[in-house]
Amino acid sequence: MGIREKADHFAEQHRKAFENWEHGGIKDAWRDQDGNICIAYEDGRWWRYREKAGGVIEWW
């Protein structure tokens, strides 16, 4: 799975965690120096994502 596919998956899970998602769609996605997927959204906010054991997605 490429960066964009992972970003789409992570963003979908992140949006599901909120009743009202206010950050828009994905503007950009990249890997940081530690290999985490970073996603920037249309409102300028961005988060780092990683998938932990058991498929749990973590963002910060």
pLDDT digits (tens, 9 = 90+) for 16-53: 999 999 999 999 999 999 999 999 999 999 999 999 99
CA distance 46 to 38: 7
Q: Can you give the pTM of this predicted structure? A: 0.93
Provide the pLDDT confidence category of residue 1 given band limits of 50, 70 and 90. confident
Residue ranges of domains in the chain: 3-59
Dihedral sign (CA 36, 5, 3, 40): negative
Instruction: Tell me: pLDDT of 10 over 90.
Output: yes
